[in-house]
Amino acid sequence: MRRTRLEIFILLWLIAGAGCAAAVKKNAEAPGQPGQAAKPPQAAAVILQSYASPQIAPGRTWKVYLKASDADGDMKEFVCVIHQPGVGTYPVSLTRIKEGNQKNLSGYLYLNVPSFRNLDFVELTLTVQVKDRAGQFSEPVKFPLSINSRYGQELPPEGVFQENDLGPIMIDLRAVGDDDRPGLFDRYRR
């Protein structure tokens, strides 16, 4: 008797699961309202060219040059992430793309490198993507950077990029072991 009930329960469970899977598949084929045609997929933005000096001195402004386009003309923002060995990955910086630049753009994002922190001999990698209003991302572009007092910033190739300010990269760089949370290490100081 118990075995029969268990078999019936399993059979009903399998039938219900198959019915749910069929309903999910049916809804996946026809998104939106019934009777509406499915929208064609939109094209993601494309970063056509990019350049950034691989080295800079502390206290300088690092310029990251980009040339991008979007067939839909709906580029929304730059998504910037910095990874620094010994510190980790910084929080994401979002820089809004200004009106008039949402179809084609050429210019630079900039990162202020502070001089008052011990950032000599720091290595990091910046990753930049363009996000459009549909939520699609361009392919990422990576830029390695060495910070050293003896370095100067190299200029981009002439005539390739415009000197158009696209906005700041809002990330506050730190030296390895630097933590600016107040009182974090107070209990260890005497």
Instruction: Check residue 27 and give its pLDDT.
Output: 46
Domain locations along the chain = 46-168
Q: What value does the mean pLDDT take over residues 115-132?
A: 90
Q: Tell me, what's the pLDDT at 43? A: 83
**Could you tell me the fold of the domain covering 46-168?**
Immunoglobulin-like (2.60.40)
Contacts of 64 (CB under 8 A, 6+ apart): 50, 51, 52, 108, 109, 110, 111, 126, 128, 143, 169
25, exposed or middle or buried, with CB in 10 Å at 0-12, 13-18, 19+? exposed
Strand order in the sheet with 61-69: 46-52, 61-69, 104-112, 165-168
Q: Is the pLDDT of residue 105 over 50?
A: yes
pLDDT at 190 over 60: no
When the pLDDT of each residue in the chain is averaged and rounded to a whole number, the result is: 83
The residue-averaged pLDDT of 156-178 equals 90
> pLDDT at residue 10 above 90?
no
Mean of pLDDT values over 84-105: 93
pLDDT tier for residue 6 given thresholds of 50, 70 and 90? low
Band of residue 146 on the pLDDT scale cut at 50, 70, 90: very high
Q: What is the pLDDT of residue 47?
A: 97
Given a cut of 80, is residue 135 above it in pLDDT?
yes
Mean pLDDT of 168-173: 94
Q: What's the rounded Cα separation, in Å, for the pair 40 and 32? A: 13
